[in-house]
Amino acid sequence: MLGRVRGLETMAYETTGPVARITLDRPARGNGITLAMPRELARCVEEADADPSVHVICLSGRGTGFCGGYDLAEYAEGAMPNHDPSRPWDPAIDWHVMSRNVRGFMSLFHADKPVVCKVHGYCVAGGTDMALCSDLLVIAADAKIGYPPARVWGSPTTAVWAHRIGVQRAARLLFTGDSLSGEEAAAWGLAVEAPPAPELDERVEVLLERIARVPVNQLVMMKLLLNGTLMSQGLHATQVLGTVFDGLARHTPEGFSWAGIAASEGFRTAVRARDEPFGDAGTSTFKG
């Protein structure tokens, strides 16, 4: 039945007129990414694509923020298939897990319908994979978006930062792990709009309504045209590198040490240890 996706554990799916709404729904865990989330995301996108009444997809998160990245309670404090410190690292298993996550995130990019991502609160680490695989970002002015794991234990697997904001600005973020406010993201061209937080919902609805006026066939053609530009720039090959490097980053001496802190003292302590040398403790944004 169109308009419903059964058995979802990490998100909710509903349609309101021509808009399909995918909402990350793990608020108690900051909408942290689990192995199930990218797979459920792909199912929801497929449902929206198959529904002829849907013109546009809206991706958002429930709770205090959009997405805080991978659920480190599972990845850093527990034993995941691609991270078990008690056994030798198998890069093939790591690739098997993470490349499938990339496919799930990229379902937004490959969706027939345009995807508008609404960001409030925070969108960091793996959460940026979903946001940047969307077509348009509307970010609250006071929100935070960035990839702090560039400092240790991570590489952006979808590798779209340079495509989004250019190599130099992507380097500014990935060489430091700094984050942008929504206002800064709009100034850098990452967001199409950065309204004050109280106006975020209204501004997103205005954009969704305008997109929904366009016939679906036109929207599909325009999205294919835009995506063709990115694919011709070698995005797929770069994503292979990003996914492989992510596994390597988690198994450098520094990465292994960081994971040890997370396992023994908790991920909050590990994140604080990672970010305090930069003077932000994972909370402030780049103001340069």
CATH code: domain of residue 86: 3.90.226.10
- Once rounded to an integer, what is the mean pLDDT over residues 209-228? 98
- Return the DSSP state at 193: B
More confident residue, 98 or 263: 98
44 is a domain residue = yes
For position 76, what pLDDT does the model report?
54
286 is a domain residue = no
Q: Is 197 within 8 Å of 141 (Cβ atoms)?
A: yes
- Once rounded to an integer, what is the mean pLDDT over residues 80-103? 86
Sequence-distant (≥ 6) Cβ neighbours of residue 181 within 8 angstroms: 141, 142, 143, 144, 145, 194, 285
- Return the DSSP state at 19: E
287 is a domain residue = no
Q: Give the count of domains, the chain.
A: 1
Instruction: State percent of the chain over pLDDT 90.
Output: 84
User: Which residues pair with residue 136 across a beta bridge?
Assistant: 116
Residue 89 belongs to what domain range? Answer: 11-278
Strands 19-24 and 56-61: parallel
284 is a domain residue = no
Query: Residue 1: pLDDT band by 50, 70, 90 thresholds?
Result: very low
For position 80, what pLDDT does the model report?
63
What is the C-alpha to C-alpha distance for residues 175 and 244, in angstroms, rounded to an integer?
18
Query: Residue 280: pLDDT band by 50, 70, 90 thresholds?
Result: confident
Q: Is the pLDDT confidence value at 288 over 90?
A: no
236 is a domain residue = yes
Sign of the four-CA dihedral 81, 102, 285, 195? negative
For position 168, what pLDDT does the model report?
98
For position 51, what pLDDT does the model report?
97
What is the C-alpha to C-alpha distance for residues 250 and 154, in angstroms, rounded to an integer?
6
User: Which residues pair with residue 119 across a beta bridge?
Assistant: 139
For 170-205, write each residue's pLDDT tens digit. Answer: 999 999 999 999 999 999 999 999 999 999 999 999
User: What token pair was written down for 171?
Assistant: 């380097």
Rg (C-alpha) for the chain, rounded Å, is 18
Q: Is 131 within 8 Å of 151 (Cβ atoms)?
A: no
What is the C-alpha to C-alpha distance for residues 164 and 133, in angstroms, rounded to an integer?
10
For 137-154, write each residue's pLDDT tens digit. Answer: 999 999 999 999 999 999
What is the C-alpha to C-alpha distance for residues 112 and 216, in angstroms, rounded to an integer?
9
For position 284, what pLDDT does the model report?
42
For 42-88, write each residue's pLDDT tens digit. Answer: 999 999 999 999 999 999 999 999 999 999 877 655 546 676 777 78
Residue 186 φ/ψ, nearest 5 degrees: -65, -40
254 is a domain residue = yes
More confident residue, 31 or 83: 31
5 is a domain residue = no
What is the per-residue DSSP string for 195-231? --GGGHHHHHHHHHHHHHTS-HHHHHHHHHHHHHHHH
283 is a domain residue = no
